[in-house]
Structure 1
Amino acid sequence: MQNRIAIIAGGAVALLLFLLVNAAFIVDERKRALVLQFGQVVREPIEAPGLYFKVPFIQNVSFYEDRILPLETNSLEVTPLDDRRLVVDAFARWRIVDTIRFRQAVFDEAAAVQRLGSILTAALREVLGSVTSDAVLSDQRALLMERIRDATRLNARELGVEIVDVRLRRTDLPQQNLQATFERMQAEREREAADERARGAEAAQRVRANADRQAIELVSEAQRESNIIRGEADAQRNAIFAEAFGQDPEFFSFFRSMQAYEAALGGGRSSMVMSPDSEFFNYLKDERGASRERQR
């Protein structure tokens, strides 16, 4: 009798433990939970971590991420307003904010990633197709990412999801367009270099012309001043000669003759064909000849 009671008690305890194990569940701080009964949500979403209970065998629990999740996209070709195609690589960060709506819309995270990828791709094409490629590649890129995030966030709200952020990781030209773009850029740089060289040559020519003009002006001014000084010196010399001639005409004539001899015969190899009786040789004759010349 006692053995039967012990067996029954043990079975009851085991059943109770089994029911307790199937009734209890733990919600991790990284998760949120929905309690389902025959596929229908019967309780409010559980977002706080802790130990919870459900009706065993009748109810079950589905867990969903409560963390911010990544959304990676494949490289996408977009066509901006200027028809220069760009290869865009973007990514987003998202999280579940309405668990019940999320389950009803996409059921699980794998399906959500596919839906969100389509929404992000559509937003990328819409926003980047409304601007030029220069805007995509310039400092306006941050504003464009905000526009893409807002458009994606608006459409993702129906899935019970919030788009936290959207980033453009890479925006490049397609491979087949790179060579043409490089050649066009090279031609533009060569044209700019030619313009710079032309402007430099023009500036150099102006500098040279200005320098030549200043040199001519300086030389002309120096020649004018030298001519003035030379003229003044000649005037002073003539005045001195005139004064000397007035004081002693004989000495002045002798001095001038000596200067003429020096100028005419100073080279050492000079040859002159003149009459011996020429006045040029008056001071080279002897005293008697000079006296006779004076008597004549």
Structure 2
Amino acid sequence: MSRIQYILPAVFAVGALALSSVFIVDEREQVLVLQFGQVKQEIRDPGMGFKVPFIQDVVRYEDRILGLQTQPLEVTLKDNRRLIVDAFTRWRIVDLVSFREAVGPGGVESAQARIDRIVSAAIREVLGSVVSNAVLSEDRTGLMNRIRDIARREAGSLGVEVIDLRLTRTDLPEQNLAATYARMRAEREREAADEIARGNEAASRLRAAADREVVEVTSDARRQAEVIRGEADAKRNAIYAEAFGQDPEFFTFTRSLTAYERSMREGNASIVMQPDSVFFDYLNDPNGRPAAPAQQ
């Protein structure tokens, strides 16, 4: 019994020691084995690993792509306009040893702070060399790629790779919004006034051309009407002349009927004359003989 009392604790101690020397590496992480702060082993593949108990430590780091939202910063552009800018950066650890040496025990949190400063400096450098229209336009991919390349080069010493960078906010400071809005409104009003003036000028040209065409068409129509009326009058006079030559009495009769028609139209003034007037010859006698003089 006395041996068993000594053997069982020894077995448990050996088992505990063996378990403390084994660790599991997940597929989403990478591991450094440190001995008194010095790197002894780097493990990037998932599986089981071993370390010396109580002497070596296991430090785990993300093997996935990480994201960083930078703090908003005010940038002065080339045209002296100011913008509030921030960015979203995607990065990952590519060199565990360099990463550990660069950031120390702080790990990812320390790396995030240093990458934030690197990205902010790159944003100031790139945006400070361009005008505001280039930043505020929809096509600013080139600017973001330039910022990404600078941040990638500077962050390489940390053992990390900047994979992508996107500007998420490019706003004017509050004190500049009102002035910018007023200037944009004035520009739009000026453009609107120019468009209205050009439209009125075009409308005037079209209206003048239309009026000129109306005058030309009307004048030509009147000329043709006068020609046709003259030709008709000539034919009518020729017919009358021919009829008068053949039967003067018929001509006199038709002329009297025309006079009667015109005198009896609505709106004509009253006519006062003697009943035996020549005007009434064809009303008094179908043959148009003059009426007998009135008895005194």
Measured against the shorter chain, the TM-score band is 0.7 to 0.9
Q: CA deviation at 1:284?
A: 5.9
1:270 aligns to what? Answer: 271
Deviations 1:61-93 (A, max 9, x none): 222221211212111111222222111121111
Contact between 1:38 and 1:58, CA under 8 Å: does it hold in 2?
yes
- Cα distance in 1 for residues equivalent to 2:61 and 2:251: 134
Q: Higher mean Cα deviation, 202-211 or 142-151? A: 202-211
Contact between 2:278 and 2:290, CA under 8 Å: does it hold in 1?
no
TM-score normalised by structure 2 residue count? 0.85
1:90 aligns to what? Answer: 87
Q: CA deviation at 1:264?
A: 8.6
Contact between 1:264 and 1:270, CA under 8 Å: does it hold in 2?
no
Give me the CA root mean square deviation: 2.6
- Match for 1:201: what amino acid? N
Over 3 Å counting, the alpha-carbon distance change for 1:179 and 1:257 in structure 2 is closer
Counterpart of 2:290 (choices 270, 276, 285) is: 285
Q: Give 1:175-254 correspondences, 5 Å limit.
A: 175-249=174-248, 251=249, 254=252
Q: CA deviation at 1:212?
A: 1.7
- Cα distance in 1 for residues equivalent to 2:205 and 2:85: 51
Q: Give 1:57-206 correspondences, 5 Å limit.
A: 57-107=54-104, 108-206=107-205
Q: Which sections of structure 1, spanning at least 5 residues, go unmatched?
A: 290-296
- Match for 1:202: what amino acid? E
2:284 aligns to what? Answer: none
Q: CA deviation at 1:208?
A: 2.1
Contact between 2:243 and 2:251, CA under 8 Å: does it hold in 1?
no
- Cα distance in 2 for residues equivalent to 1:248 and 1:112: 128
Counterpart of 1:54 (choices 42, 47, 51) is: 51
2:285 aligns to what? Answer: none
Q: Higher mean Cα deviation, 255-264 or 199-208? A: 255-264
Q: Higher mean Cα deviation, 146-155 or 3-12? A: 3-12
Deviations 1:161-196 (A, max 9, x none): 111211111111111111111111111111122122
2:34 aligns to what? Answer: 36
Contact between 1:31 and 1:65, CA under 8 Å: does it hold in 2?
yes
Deviations 1:112-166 (A, max 9, x none): 1111111010111111112221111223312211111111111111010111211
- Cα distance in 2 for residues equivalent to 1:86 and 1:169: 12
Q: CA deviation at 1:98?
A: 0.7
- Match for 1:28: what amino acid? D
